[in-house]
Amino acid sequence: MTNEEIKGAAAEEDQQAQSKKALKKQQKEAEKAAKKAEKQAKLAAEQHGVDEEDFAQDRYGIPPMVQSQDNLDRVLVRVQELTPQKAEQLIWVRARVHTSRAKGKQCFLVLRQQQFNVQGLVAVGDRASKQMVKFAANIPKESIVDVEGVVRKVEQKIESCSQQDVELHIERIFVVSQAEPRLPLQLEDAVRPEGEGDEEGRATVNQDTRLDNRVIDLRTTTSQAVFRLQSGVCQLFRDTLTNKGFVEIQTPKIISAASEGGANVFTVSYFKTSAYLAQSPQLYKQMCICADFDKVFCVGPVFRAEDSNTHRHLTEFVGLDIEMAFNYHYHEVIESITDTMVQIFKGLRDRFQTEIQTVNKQFPSEPFKFLEPTLRLEYTEGVAMLRAAGVEMGDEDDLSTPNEKLLGRLVKEKYDTDFYVLDKYPLAVRPFYTMPDPINPRYSNSYDMFMRGEEILSGAQRVHDAQLLTERAVYHNIDLEKIKGYIDSFRYGAPPHGGGGIGLERVTMLYLGLHNVRQTSMFPRDPKRLTP
């Protein structure tokens, strides 16, 4: 008992001591709080006081969210149009705050609109108050603002901006949409060339972070340039082929049977049964040829259930497909396709030079070289070149990826072209619908096209005779029941035809000399990524 009492007393004392300490602490804290409150009150009073004096009060701020209340008659000028010709004009601009830097009574803002940017300046003066400068400095990066200002010529070129000869002296600034202060990645880091920031300890952004925050990553000048150029590829592809008399067609993407073998197709549930996602529009292109459309092309998604995590494989990509009937020789098809490619390359060279330069700043690469008309080599020549370089391979072996790369380098060295056609592949390495060579049955009327040593197109003259097609299918041990529909489409007269398909992402990547196809796919799909 006594022991317990003593213990209890001790505990009490302890408690008392503790409470004393706590009391003191509380007192101190109260004092602190009082001081703080006093300070705040003072600050508030000060601010209040100043607010009253702020002559520029209605020249800045955060207006109510745009819910289409008003339809202002205000003209917004594009940042890229801000040139010395506009000097001394008072204009409105809507742009993002790219960076902001306050310096005493001044605040420099870089205003960005897509790949263009201009320097803006808020300085204390008869138009802007101290408070306005402070407000401008505190706008988080990537917020969208409306600013009014006077365009002024500058004496020294502003190297960091795309509009180098002018700056904007801001007189009004309103935040249209505020960004969160913490960005998942910094735009400057995302455009930094690889390896450059290493020494200074600056960050570069890795691929996954970019893809997880694709919306911000796509705002970078590099991404803007890449996807503008990609749009150009599509546009040039359509224009060139339309001029050549091709018809654009749309083909179904949900299909009942696998078009090329059955291995790498996605199965989707289709009401009470299942269906597949189209691996290529091949069958439908060919059916259009049999239906007398003569020359067709289509642009659309293509699905491949290949579990390969390489720099050049995607599970969904945009296919640019061509199919055409020819008169006498399938080289007519090769000529059409290669000429289309050359027109695309020329168009990009002549119309997208700034985009190419922008991408090159971050990812330096040699300019894309090509010949017109396109160089055509035969498979045996390719094999001979590889053998001369010390590669051991059989006459009818398929080219491995490293050998393709090596051959690309050899061809580049001799002919100085990044684009060429390899013709007359061995029949054994091509699909069953490939037309065999008329003279040497071990070879076939098929071709691959390469850009920077990587295959971008695989095509051939197709067998357009149901009888021969059946024979070839049987030879390849293909279940005739499964491809009955395909073979049947050739029973009612089919013109000789050929074609091929290219991947938009791959072409963009290889043209720009990039190293990952995910950089040229807006929202890439690969075995490990389904979002965003």
Partner 1 sequence: MPMYQVKPTSGGDIKIDLPTCMYKLPNVHASRSDFGEHAHQNGEVDPAMQALEARQDEIMRRLYELKAAVEGIAKTVTTPDADLDATTIPQQGSASTVLTGTSDLDSLLGKDPGALRDLVINAHPSRPPLSLLVLHSLLCQRYRVLSTVHVHSSIPAVAPPLLTCLGPRHSHSYARQHFQLGFTLIWKDVPKTQMKFSVQTMCPVEGEGNVARFLFGLLSPGPREAAAATLSDAWVDTALFQLSEGGAKERAAVLRALNAALGRSPWLAGAELSLADIVCACCVRQSGSAPSAPPNVQRWLKSCENLGHFGQAYALMH
Helices (H), 376-489: 379-388, 401-415, 466-475, 484-488
Q: Which of 388, 392, 530, 531 binds partner 1 (CB under 8 A)?
A: 388
304 is catalytic: yes
* Min CB(394)–partner 1 separation in Å: 12
Catalytic residue among 148, 171, 323, 455: 455
Answer yes or no whether residue 450 interacts with partner 1 by CB under 8 A. Answer: no
452 is catalytic: no
Answer yes or no whether residue 392 interacts with partner 1 by CB under 8 A. Answer: no
182 is catalytic: no
Catalytic residue among 152, 238, 313, 515: 313
458 is catalytic: yes
* Min CB(377)–partner 1 separation in Å: 8
CB closer to partner 1, 77 vs 375:
375
Residues 337-366: b if buried by 16+ CB within 10 A, e if exposed: bbebbbbbbebbeeebeebbebbbebbeee
* Min CB(188)–partner 1 separation in Å: 34
Q: What is the DSSP letter of 138?
A: T
Q: Which of 35, 414, 484, 491 binds partner 1 (CB under 8 A)?
A: 414
Q: What is the DSSP letter of 194?
A: T
d(CA 375, CA 305): 33
Alpha-carbon distance values, 162 to 110, 121, 140 (Å): 10, 16, 22
Which residue in the block uniquely carries the two structure tokens 């020819």? 326
Catalytic residue among 127, 210, 304, 462: 304
Q: Which of 86, 169, 228, 331 binds partner 1 (CB under 8 A)?
A: 331
How many CB atoms are closer than 10 A to CB 146?
18
Q: Kindly determine how many residues on this chain lie close enough to bind partner 1 according to the rule CB under 8 A.
A: 30
Answer yes or no whether residue 391 interacts with partner 1 by CB under 8 A. Answer: no
For partner 1, the binding residues in 491-510 under the rule CB under 8 A are none
Answer yes or no whether residue 389 interacts with partner 1 by CB under 8 A. Answer: yes
Q: Which stretch binds partner 1 (CB under 8 A): 237-245, 383-391, 482-490, 498-506?
A: 383-391
Do the beta carbons of residue 82 and residue 151 sit within 8 Å? yes
**446-451/419-423 β-pairing:** antiparallel
306 is catalytic: yes
Alpha-carbon distance values, 45 to 40, 129, 132, 134, 147 (Å): 8, 18, 18, 18, 30
| Residues forming beta bridges with residue 257, ordered by sequence position | none
Q: Which of 372, 397, 479, 488 binds partner 1 (CB under 8 A)?
A: 372
Q: Which of 383, 449, 507, 512 binds partner 1 (CB under 8 A)?
A: 383
Q: Which stretch binds partner 1 (CB under 8 A): 103-111, 146-154, 366-374, 495-503?
A: 366-374
Our CA dihedral for 301, 304, 308, 311, rounded to 10 degrees, sits at -20
312 is catalytic: yes
For partner 1, the binding residues in 193-212 under the rule CB under 8 A are none
Catalytic residue among 127, 312, 464, 497: 312
d(CA 391, CA 403): 8
Rg (the chain; Cα; Å): 33
d(CA 121, CA 106): 7
Catalytic residues: 304, 306, 312-313, 455, 458, 506
Binding site for partner 1 (CB under 8 A): 329, 331, 345-346, 349, 367-373, 375-378, 380-381, 383-385, 387-389, 410, 413-417
